[in-house]
Amino acid sequence: MKRIVTIQDVSCFGKCSITVALPIISAMGIECAIIPTSVLSTHTGGFEGFTFRDLSDDIPKIQEHWKKYALKFDMIYTGYLGSHSQIDYVMDFAREFRNDKNLLFVDPAMGDKGRLYTGFDASFPPHMARLCAMADIVVPNLTEASFMLGIEYKEQYDESHIKDVLKRLCALGAKIAVLTGVSYEKSTQGAVLYDSEKDEFYSYFTENIPTSFHGTGDTFASVFAGALCQGLSKEEALKVAVDFTVECIKATLPDAENHAYGTKFELCLPSLINKLNK
Ligand code: PXL
């Protein structure tokens, strides 16, 4: 059985980060250990007055304890991190638990639609870029990539811009970069991957549903990470992750006004299991 450790916050209500990653990775038949980096009453998108308990200091203590048991992970998957020190601790953790067989998978969750999430300032993306530089795989959206690279965020772009951004992300140090939420025309969206060792691009596009829900980046990242960990090829993993994310959006659409805070991904888990068994 494969084993992933995912390091991100617990948003108690709102369906993102660990409350998405844990059920998805478990449903994919992978053991999922967690390191909660902070506990928030809700995620920071659309809720006012959320609580934030910083658990940064627990990260090195958990690391020391796990070292005694020589725990091994097939993948270290990091998501939303709430402070500079959390990024530093996570980099330490990765140095300790990385080996020549496992993968460091980084989702630099910190913004969308050209803006950083509440709580982050301009000093945060360059710090996150240092974690991305260590990674085997990074999966930002175009907002996060643009902030990390210090380039203008474009609403409208073409394929050459996306390819250029992907190459620059790999030039930071990541082996493979994926841009999520790419849409060259209104009717389609998907993800584009660049493998810097092979100098190859892969993309997968499907229908674009013009309603956005919170947490879909976390859904994509969890499925993509799980699928790679289960040994699917990069192309297959991309397709499964994009298709599943769209399925979750479609399952939520009839009740969209009550569910902007997160998708009804739970209803789609049986279908994810079927996709993997095919
Ligand atoms: O979905 C990314 C995410 C994760 N965790 C927290 C967030 C967000 C996005 O806003 O606020 C706490």
Give average pLDDT by consecutive 10-residue segment, the chain, 278 residues. 98 98 98 98 95 97 98 98 97 97 98 96 98 98 98 97 98 98 96 98 97 96 98 97 98 95 97 90
The answer for residues whose C-beta is within 8 angstroms of residue 199's C-beta and 6 or more apart is: none
Is 80 close to ligand 1, i.e. is its CB under 6 Å away?
yes
Model pLDDT, residue 1 = 96
For residue 16, report the distance from its CA to the centre of ligand 1, in Å. 6
206 strand-pairing partners: 189
Give the side-chain half-sphere CA count within 13 A for 260. 8
The vertex-204 CA angle with 175 and 223, nearest 5°, equals 70
Residue 118's pLDDT is: 94
pLDDT at position 277 is 85
Give the SS3 label for residue 23.
helix
Residue 50 Cβ < 6 Å to ligand 1: no
DSSP run (H or E) holding 205: strand 200-207
Distance 44 CA to ligand 1 centre (A): 6
